[in-house]
Chains A and B, each alone.
Chain A
Amino acid sequence: MDSTENSGNGNGQNKYGGEKLKSELLTVNMGPQHPATHGVLRVEIKTDSEVVSEAIPHIGYLHRCFEKHCENIDYRGNLPFCDRMDYLAAMHMELGYCLAIEKMIGTEIPRRAEYIRVIITELQRIASHLLFTGVYAIDLGAFTPFLYCFDQREKILRLFEEISGARLLYNYIWIGGVWNDIKDGQLARIKEFCESFPAELDKYMNLVGQNKIFVERTANIGIMNAEMCYNYGATGPVLRGAGVDWDLRKKRPYSIYEELDFDVPVGTGEKGTLGDCWDRFAVRQQEMRESLKIIKQCLDGIEEGPIMGKVPKVLKLPKGEIYMRTECARGELGYHIVSDGGKVPYRVKAKSSSFTHTSMLPEVAPGLLIADFVAVIGSIDIVLGEVDR
């Protein structure tokens, strides 16, 4: 052999050309059909063995042209499309849209309708958080809590079906009021639910929240601190989980939230660091308690009267624009509606919180294990319908 190229010579080269054998990151596609991604989210993960070094979310698999649809259909016809953005908390989507338009045309909403709206949206918040609790437990490998949560959620959906006629996509909150009146029997059932539900909440906390395995999987994982939340514009339970006391229902009250007495739960870092997955879980558990408090007050204060305000049959908005934001189950939802004075909106833009939270994933991901990354996706509770719209 006239050359040492093909034999090991102690210079860091072997006979196959050692400098050509490089180690590189492995690209793994999580989703869009992965059950842990909560819908059709595809995350491209660059992994170094089991550790994520980069995560790139790819969105748009559930894009349904909400904004373009709105430019072609009259104001009332847009309501069913609003429902379909966040299909797990459809009442909240309707409420924001209706409030924006009511503010534009200056309609006064009857008191009874306001009470019904608050009762319904808070029930919807509980239903949405119940789904979160159950599905988050599934993400982390526990199946039983899911069944208990769905048992309770079913009670709420049953009520919704009787009140509004549908289980998920209601089209119940209308411009000027609500569609149907709530009967006394249904109010009594809501009251019954409010009384029986706190025991269930304790159960979830004992079964899931305090469980050692669950705490190990969530505490100190996926820390989104207050600064990061401000930078990205996070809202809702993610922001409150970071210890920031910000709730639109308190800070910029809409509807009748001014008159109601409730607390805003914030993360405390009880099990680990402030703003970790466990804090976001705990904040949602406490929010359900606060929702119950709100519902109870509304049930006591509900007044008799009409449920629809005066709205012209052919709805035309005055020329101008409006931005209305509401506190939904997942965070703030803002509607920007531009009107040119015609029957159809000139432009409708929805700002969703799930989209903002998805954009935080790449910053949190580096250094996490793949299994922990699943825990982070679950903890921000995104709905892909709202991300893509």
Chain B
Amino acid sequence: MNTHHEELTLKKYFQNIWNGIRTTIKGLSITIKHVYDVKPVTIEYPEVREVIPEGSRSRLFNDVQNCISCDQCAVACPVDCIYIASKPRPKDAEKIKTSNGTPIRRELTQYTIDTSLCCYCGLCTTVCPTESLTHTTDHEYASYTIDHMKYDYLDPEVVAWRDRIVK
């Protein structure tokens, strides 16, 4: 239906051959130029690593010392991957503050992020009033089971990852 043939004259026949040779040589010259003139753009990954830009959104990290349990991140999350639980602090307990001076009125009892659900949209970090929840540039955290993708930020082991994460 969609093919139509023009009449093939002797002139056209040779023109076709000439066009074939000419355009192929043109293409090959571009390729050869790339072989000798252009620097390689690929890197050999495990040995050489690219520097990830500063603002890149990779794994979330919550600094629980600064968290005021306001729940805004969990509300903003479109996939509901932040599990947060807290209880009021006793009235006679000593008053503590975050690093930017916001008083902490509730005690955090659970702060878990299911990284396997997270879509890295960044909506949770923008609503955080104390900037305790941030995206880090750590992007290499493959794990064997899906349970390992749940990060409990009250767990000392995960907190100790902080230095590893905040590169």
Contact = CB atoms under 8 A, between A and B. Distances in A.
Given A207-B26, A213-B23, A276-B2, 20 more contacts: A73-B78, A76-B123, A80-B119, A161-B52, A161-B53, A161-B55, A162-B54, A162-B55, A165-B56, A165-B122, A203-B30, A206-B26, A208-B27, A210-B23, A211-B26, A212-B16, A212-B19, A220-B3, A221-B2, A367-B1
Contact of A367 (B3, B55, B78): B3
Given A76-B123, A80-B121, A180 B55 contact: yes
A352 interface: no
A161 B121 CA distance: 13
B12 to A, nearest CB: 13
Contacts of B52: 161
A166 to B, nearest CB: 5
A118 B69 CA distance: 39
B167 to A, nearest CB: 15
Interface in A167-216: 169, 171, 179-180, 203, 206-208, 210-213
A77 B121 CA distance: 9
Contacts of A83: 121
18 contacts: A77-B77, A77-B78, A77-B123, A80-B121, A80-B123, A144-B31, A154-B41, A161-B55, A161-B56, A165-B56, A165-B57, A165-B135, A169-B120, A211-B23, A212-B19, A220-B3, A276-B2, A368-B1
Contacts of A73: 78
A90 B67 CA distance: 32
Contacts of B121: 79-80, 83, 169, 171
Given A162-B53, A203-B30, A220 B2 contact: yes
A273 B4 contact: yes
B123 A207 contact: no
* Shortest Cβ-Cβ A-B pairs, 8 listed: A367-B1, A77-B78, A80-B121, A165-B57, A212-B20, A162-B53, A171-B121, A212-B23
Contacts, number: 90
A322 interface: no
A80 B4 contact: no
B120 A166 contact: yes
Contacts of B57: 165-166
B30 A207 contact: yes
B50 to A, nearest CB: 9
Contact of A206 (B16, B20, B27): B27
A91 B129 CA distance: 27
Nearest to A210: B23
A86 B32 CA distance: 35
B9 interface: no
A203 B26 CA distance: 10
A162 B53 CA distance: 6
B119 to A, nearest CB: 5
B23 A368 contact: no
A81 interface: yes
Given A151-B41, A222-B2, A367-B1, A211 B56 contact: no
Contact of A211 (B2, B16, B27, B55): B27
A148 interface: yes
B100 interface: no
The winner among B2, B31, B56, B120 for most chain A CB atoms within 10 A is: B2
A210 B76 CA distance: 51
A309 interface: no
A275 to B, nearest CB: 10
A185 to B, nearest CB: 12
Nearest to A79: B121
A223 interface: yes
A169 B24 contact: no
Interface string A75-114: 0111111010000000000000000000000000000000
Interface string B19-60: 110111011001100100000010000000000111111000
A302 interface: no
B23 A221 contact: no
A368 B26 contact: no
Contacts of A57: none
Contact of B3 (A77, A203, A221): A221
Nearest to A80: B121
A179 B126 CA distance: 9
Given A77-B76, A171-B121, A203-B30, A166 B56 contact: yes
